[in-house]
Amino acid sequence: MSTTTSAGTPPGTPEATDATTPVFSVDGLWKVFGPKAARVPADPELAALSPAELRSRTRCTAAVADVSFDVHKGEVFVVMGLSGSGKSTLVRCLTRLIEPTAGSLAIDGEDVRAMDKSRLRELRRHRAAMVFQHFGLLPHRTVLDNVAYGLEVQGMGRAERRERAAAIVAKVGLQGLEQRRPGQLSGGQRQRVGLARALAVDPEVLLFDEPFSALDPLIRRDMQEEVVRLHREEGRTMVFITHDLQEALKLGDRIALMRDGRVVQLGTPEEIVGSPADDYVREFVRDVPREQVLTVRTAMRPASSADEAGTGPALRPDATVSQAIEAVARAGSPARVMDDGRCLGVVDADALLGVVAGTGGAPREATERPGEADGPGTDLAKGADQRKEAV
């Protein structure tokens, strides 16, 4: 976790931060591949072109085009989009594995674009660890030594790093396999080693680049649950790339949906499914079971009488519509949405059906537009926990 410093920041230490400083703050970020790339973001006419027009006019590709968002402490921030939409380029720009063309980028308030080589190395080794799709394990080392590798690079002594690595290996469920080599493991086990290796250096933020896309569906689900569990237990900040909507909905507190290098919508899963920003997003989420993502707030109305506010099954405000349907069906009466003993409203069968049919209900909060990134409210964050159980 980041440290808070008082007046003045000595060289080599993080800038002063507080709980509200975003972990990553990205503003107007561009990555353009091609000749004279820097002219594209600098010229409003070129910057506004479609990918095909830009390519034919300049032979350039804007892999990331004017992207802005903040990643807040403790959230799982998902970058989702189809192949070629710019996800990997964007996430690699965060630690300058790919050099951005324009825009600003900060970690804990510190300018990443101004970092020198040694500061960047420190950023990648200690502060933002990456988990890759293809594991990147060292084939001749044991599981334990692969996990300890990052600590070795950091200069930690052998006994200490092996002890630390053993604890992390156990944490990701690989006890007993410490002495195996990667070739003797299944794909899921190898990905757990990759995860353990990233966790071993205790980074402030974990960056996942489509880590589970090569795994078969059952193992993939196991790994997703592992991430949910780790996040719940440790509250570590995570940035997670995926092209899989179900994965994004399951893991994300907020999702940035990318198309052609741009973020077309940034919001909670409930906002993205309940109020798609445009036809592209609407089409993207068309087949999502709305009742598993939207919460009862979407379907809630004020109680019509004191009697209605005082009887009927009670639900939490972050219960999903699906959970509410079950409660209402069992009771044969509307359910009350209760918070701290107070009745916020009621949900009845008609309103719940309207949500399922897509004819009623939209999230209470307005969806953020790209560039208006803000943290999830407590309610929405709680809603995310419920959803992680449900999806």
Ligand X SMILES: Nc1ncnc2c1ncn2[C@@H]1O[C@H](COP(=O)(O)OP(=O)(O)OP(=O)(O)O)[C@@H](O)[C@H]1O
- Shortest reach from residue 79's CB to ligand X, in Å: 8
238: amino acid identity, one letter:
M
Tell me the C-alpha distance between 364 and 158, whole Å: 54
Q: Which residues are CB-neighbours of 215 under 8 A, at least 6 positions away?
A: 187, 188, 191, 223
Between 55 and 229, CB nearer to ligand X: 55
State which amino acid sits at residue 102.
A
Pairing verdict, β 61-71 and 24-33: antiparallel
Which region, left, alpha or beta, applies to residue 272 given φ > 0 means left and ψ of -120 to 50 means alpha? Answer: alpha
In angstroms, give the least distance from the CB of 89 to ligand X: 3
Cβ-contact 219, 195 below 8 angstroms: no
Question: Whose Cβ is closer to ligand X: residue 63's or residue 169's?
Answer: 63
Select 2 or 95, whichever has its Cβ closest to ligand X: 95
φ, ψ of residue 205 in degrees (nearest 5): -140, 140
Nearer to ligand X, 79 or 168 (CB): 79
Q: Would you call 320 helix, strand, or coil by DSSP?
A: strand
- Token readout for 178 is 């410490």
Q: Which is nearer to ligand X, 39 or 243 (CB)?
A: 243
Cα–Cα distance measured from residue 305 to residue 302, given in angstroms and rounded to the nearest whole number: 9
Residue 381 CB, nearest approach to ligand X (Å): 27
Query: Whose Cβ is closer to ligand X: residue 73's or residue 87's?
Result: 87
Comparison of 370 and 376: residue with beta carbon closer to ligand X: 370
Of the two residues 162 and 220, which places its CB atom closer to ligand X in the complex? 220
> Hey, what amino acid is at 204?
E
Burial call 2-35: b when 16+ CB within 10 Å, e when fewer: beeeeeeeeeeebbbbeeebbbbbbeebbbbeee
In the complex, what is the shortest distance from the CB of residue 63 to ligand X, in angstroms, rounded to a whole number? 3
Q: Three-state DSSP class for 195? A: helix
Shortest Cβ distance from residue 34 to ligand X (Å)?
A: 7
For residue 86, give Cα distances in angstroms to 30, 35, 81, 262.
10, 18, 8, 8
CB atoms within 10 A of CB 145: 17
For residues 81 and 252, which CB has a smaller minimum distance to ligand X in the complex? 81
Q: What is the nearest approach in angstroms of ligand X to the Cβ of residue 258?
A: 7
Which tokens go with 345?
Answer: 């409203």
Contact residues toward ligand X (CB under 6 A) are 33, 61, 63, 81, 83-89, 243
Q: How far is the CB of 90 from ligand X (least distance, A)?
A: 7
> Toward ligand X, which CB reaches closer, 55 or 282?
55
Query: To the nearest whole angstrom, how small is the minimum distance from the Cβ of residue 242 to ligand X?
Result: 9
Tell me the closest approach of the beta carbon of residue 391 to ligand X, in angstroms: 21
> 110 - beta bridge partners?
107
**Residue 287 C-beta: closest distance to ligand X, Å:** 20
Closest by CA to 167, choosing from 147, 185, 184, is 147
Residue 313 tokens read as 């099954």
